[in-house]
Structure 1
Amino acid sequence: MDLGISGKTALVLGGGGGIGGAVAQVLAEEGADIAIADIDLQAAQRRAEAVKSAGGKALALEWDLSDLSEIDTNVALVEDSLGPVDILVNNTGGPPPSSVLGQGHEVWLSHFQSMVLSVMAITDRVAPSMRSRGWGRIITSTSSGVIAPIPNLGLSNTLRAALLGWSKTLAREIAADGVTCNVTVPGRIRTERVQFLDRSKAEREGKTAEQASAESIASIPMGRYGEPREYASTVAFLASVQAAYITGSVVRADGGLISSI
């Protein structure tokens, strides 16, 4: 299937990491020009080189999402190098494992700024251009914790859930302008983040990381962790021309992990 996004400009936040990197790669294979933003410039550059070596066009950006003052400068760099943003993939790093109780105000504010407010502000920066051109895709990657809160991920469960209400509201505001706005929900995808969470669980419960991973896999009907590329393909479809009538939705790519309807 031709997704119809050849020549479109995609900005992928967290594009140097496992999920973000896979999204960048899959979109590039579909012909999109990719701006890869990451706090780790070397990771962004490695992904950009991978895209270029496969014949794509890519720009690597060092981008600290907690610093809102960087937004105008970085988006302008994307626009000057690749053109106005057609596809925005909001993908932010996760906070450390934590309970909900006992977190200081400064902790909540810090992660709210990097995980939620940054997404809103970057979207505010690129959405007017999408609306004026009559085409755009805004896709926000969250976590299965927004549907079924994950034990000991209190910060993530709470803050990422805010993005669902924001995305649904935004979708109704911009749908008539040809811009869609959707949320994607990963289950347990085989990334460094999931490996870190397995190790953290193992330490808390006095188990080995292998035991913690095996228990996690046992809860997934497919009996395995998802691959980053499988999740990225879901994001890519939502970015496509064919997905033009899908907006305001929450789309799971979780191997059946989340048990609720």
Structure 2
Amino acid sequence: MKLLNLAARVSCAFSSRNSQQTRTVQKVKDNQSRDVVTELDMRLHRISERFVAERLPGCRLLSEEGGHEALDTGEIWEGEWLIVDPLDGSNNHALAMPNYGYMAAHLRDGRLDGAVIVVPEHNQYIVLEAGQSLYSQPLPLAGSSEHGTVYYAYPPKQDKQARQARGALQDLIDAESAGMYRYGSACAGLYQLLCGRHMAFIGHGIRVWDAIAFLPVLASRQIPVKYAITGRSITVVAGTKAGFLEGAEQILKAEQGLALHTFRNDSLRADAQ
């Protein structure tokens, strides 16, 4: 499994995560204080670059820290790509707080061939490749709850329709769950969904690299997943309570016209801008 080698490299880099040097903030994006780039972000980005060059000849890299601004988003649905978020939860890491991780998704002509997820504080890596799943240790599964909590991720800037949808989604969460969680890392939220600690996850117009690697992993655990991809944004609704998921889907369609696709067979659909 080639992607297991990537998981090993990333896990090794995370072994030095508690040093102050790795927490050094190198820049703040778009004047958003919660969107920072640390030295560890760049170290993990360089590891991803080297892995692609050495182990995936002909593959292209789309990384959050890779200067992707000029990329035509339609390009990623053709050919071979590794889509990477080197450090999801960078601000948490910079502040020496928990909840961050690494995610990578391997695409071939719009089909998810594999994924790598590393969550260092739980000593966990997950590798999915060629239909096989490998976990560094068994998932610490919690008891499922019909009225559990919901992790809700959304970007700092939203247009009017998205803000209206956000309000309706928060009302739904209040009415149908034990409450909303936000701790600054979609990776951590999705991992806790895998473990059964959240009833549902909503990623509302987040960046595509913030969630795409989890889609095949969730599906492999029989956790229902629906999504919509527009440009570099993805909206994901996943979880164990069908009525809640249907309610969230209806809100997104009514307020934003988003038609969510069911993730089943690793093939992705991208919607027009």
Q: Is the TM value for this pair above 0.5?
A: no
Larger RCO, structures 1/2 (Cα 8 Å, 6+ apart): 1
Structure with greater strand percent: 2
TM-score, normalised by the number of residues in structure 1: 0.30
TM-score, normalised by the number of residues in structure 2: 0.29
